[in-house]
Structure 1
Amino acid sequence: MRLLEVKNLKKIYTTRFGGNQVQALSNVSFSVEQGEYVAIMGESGSGKTTLLNILASLDKPTSGEVFLDGKNIVTIKDSEISAFRRDNLGFVFQDFNLLDTFSIQDNIFLPLVLAQKNYQEMNSRLGPLAKRLNIEEILKKFPYEVSGGQKQRAAVARALITQPKLVLADEPTGALDSKAAMNLLKIFSAINEQGQTILMVTHSVAAASHANRVLFIKDGEIYNQIYRGSMSNDDMYQKISYTLSVLASGGEDCE
């Protein structure tokens, strides 16, 4: 079943005084199936952050359509965007975006509080999630009292507790050491195996090698894609590295 469908997406930015235009995205089209784990890669300035912002309904395209579970998010009214985002999307950011004045538990609860869920429901959702992510012992602590890896697992819990249709991850391993990054990637793979759809933007070849499909963006367009098939993570790593080197050199042959 197709969960996300992006059609002919174009984004043009105009400078403050209207003298110059920059085309960040040019006719981008792709789809993501329910339960897929997709990584998006590209050099700085390739358009991947712009694409992520549009998918997160944080920005509007100049033209084109984005359907999430059949609903065109481009046409949602500004007054309804926050509620739509909270009910349908989960976010995992590089810098965690946890509030230092809230406990880990209250940080995780925050989207449910905003959705006016009762405490009993929030608690019933948190229990199994905290156990799965191994954060039960830090729930009463504050973000400044725990490690980067623990913060990111708490951020994953916050993204998942709303039971979103799609998790959007923006460089989720960028602020982590190698051990914490690997633990997070194992968590992502595990939750994906349980049916969660994940779309991750990353510079990390190691992170992308855990995905089932990798999309490459160059100059605002989809340049190439790799399907895992029967490849191992090591095979994916080599294939991604080769594709990135071809992309950087301006070559056309990614086979």
Structure 2
Amino acid sequence: MDILDVRKVKKIYTTRFGGNKVTALTDVNFSVEEGEYVAIMGESGAGKTTLLNILASLDKPTSGEVVLDGKDMVTIKEKEIAAFRRDNLGFVFQDFNLLDTFSIKDNIFLPLVLAGKHYDEMYRKLQPIANKLGIEDILAKYPYEISGGQKQRAAVARALITNPKILLADEPTGALDSKASGQLLKIFKEVNKSGQTILMVTHSIRAASHAGRVLFIKDGEVFHQLYRGNATNDELYQKISDTLTLISAGGDKDE
């Protein structure tokens, strides 16, 4: 069952000075099934960030539809967007976006506090997530007291605590060393196995090789996609690398 449908999405920006029009997305079409783990890749300027902002309901397309669990996000009124985003989407960012004046526990609780949840409910939700992510011993600490890997695991906990329909990750391993990256990717795999739908934008071939499907964006549209099938991470890594080489060499779009 498709939980996300992106149909004929186009995005044109008008530059602030001169009024020139810049087309960031030309015609993006794809769907994501419930429980899928999808990575989105492409060269800088291909439209990945624009697409992610639209999927996160932080921006609206010039035309097209973005349907999440039967609801067209494009038609949601501005005053309802924040609540819709909080109730349906989880976010993991490259730079963690943790508040330094909040403890790790309070950072994780923040979306539930904004949703008006009771403290006892928040604690019930926190415990199993903290156990799964191995952060029980840092909940009373502050972001400046912990490592980058621990910060990212805390950010994942904050994203998961609302039980989102889709977890959106923007370069989640970008600020991590190789060890912390490996730990995070292992966590993503386990979270996905439990049924969580994940959509990750990344430049990292290693990160993308952990996904079940990889979409490649070029010139504002989906250029190609790879399915894992029975491939190992190493085999998928090689396929992704070959595809990125084809894209950079100006290969033709797959039909």
User: How far, CA to CA, are the matches of 1:168 and 1:209 in structure 2?
Assistant: 17
Deviation, 1:27, is 1.0
User: How far, CA to CA, are the matches of 1:106 and 1:201 in structure 2?
Assistant: 27
User: How far, CA to CA, are the matches of 1:62 and 1:54 in structure 2?
Assistant: 10
- Partner in structure 2 of residue 221 of structure 1: 221
What code does the residue aligned with 2:114 have? Answer: L
Structure 1 runs of 4+ aligned residues shifted over 3 Å read none
Distance change (3 Å), C-alpha of 1:165 and 1:253? closer
Deviation, 1:18, is 4.8
Q: Say which SS state the counterpart of residue 22 (structure 1) adopts.
A: strand
Q: Say which SS state the counterpart of residue 246 (structure 1) adopts.
A: helix
Q: Tell me if the contact between 2:67 and 2:73 (Cα under 8 Å) persists in the aligned partners.
A: yes
What code does the residue aligned with 2:135 have? Answer: I
Deviation, 1:221, is 0.9
Deviation, 1:253, is 7.8
What code does the residue aligned with 1:84 have? Answer: F
Q: Say which SS state the counterpart of residue 248 (structure 2) adopts.
A: helix
- Partner in structure 2 of residue 250 of structure 1: 250
- Partner in structure 2 of residue 78 of structure 1: 78
Q: Tell me if the contact between 1:171 and 1:201 (Cα under 8 Å) persists in the aligned partners.
A: yes
User: How far, CA to CA, are the matches of 1:84 and 1:159 in structure 2?
Assistant: 14
Q: Say which SS state the counterpart of residue 38 (structure 1) adopts.
A: strand
- Partner in structure 1 of residue 238 of structure 2: 238
Q: List runs of 5+ in structure 1 lacking aligned partners.
A: none
User: How far, CA to CA, are the matches of 1:166 and 1:250 in structure 2?
Assistant: 32
What code does the residue aligned with 1:25 have? Answer: L
User: Identity percentage over the alignment?
Assistant: 74
Q: Tell me if the contact between 1:246 and 1:253 (Cα under 8 Å) persists in the aligned partners.
A: no
User: How far, CA to CA, are the matches of 1:194 and 1:188 in structure 2?
Assistant: 10
Q: Say which SS state the counterpart of residue 190 (structure 2) adopts.
A: helix
Aligned residue runs from structure 1 range 1-255, under 5 A: 1-252=1-252
Q: Tell me if the contact between 2:28 and 2:222 (Cα under 8 Å) persists in the aligned partners.
A: yes
Deviation, 1:19, is 2.9
Q: Tell me if the contact between 2:223 and 2:253 (Cα under 8 Å) persists in the aligned partners.
A: no
* Cα deviations by residue, 1:175-207 (Å, 9 ceiling, x for unpaired): 000000000000000000000000000000000
The number of aligned residues is: 255
The two structures have a TM-score, normalised by structure 2, of 0.99
Q: Say which SS state the counterpart of residue 230 (structure 2) adopts.
A: coil
Q: Say which SS state the counterpart of residue 151 (structure 2) adopts.
A: helix
User: How far, CA to CA, are the matches of 2:19 and 2:58 in structure 1?
Assistant: 25
Deviation, 1:16, is 1.2
* Cα deviations by residue, 1:149-174 (Å, 9 ceiling, x for unpaired): 00000000000000000000000000
What code does the residue aligned with 1:64 have? Answer: G
Aligned Cα RMSD in Å? 1.1
* Cα deviations by residue, 1:96-152 (Å, 9 ceiling, x for unpaired): 000000000000000000000000000000001000000000000000000000000
User: How far, CA to CA, are the matches of 1:217 and 1:93 in structure 2?
Assistant: 20
Q: Tell me if the contact between 1:25 and 1:220 (Cα under 8 Å) persists in the aligned partners.
A: yes
Q: List runs of 5+ in structure 2 lacking aligned partners.
A: none
User: How far, CA to CA, are the matches of 2:146 and 2:253 in structure 1?
Assistant: 46
Which moved further from structure 2: 12-21 or 152-161? 12-21
User: How far, CA to CA, are the matches of 1:32 and 1:174 in structure 2?
Assistant: 24
Deviation, 1:20, is 1.1
The two structures have a TM-score, normalised by structure 1, of 0.99
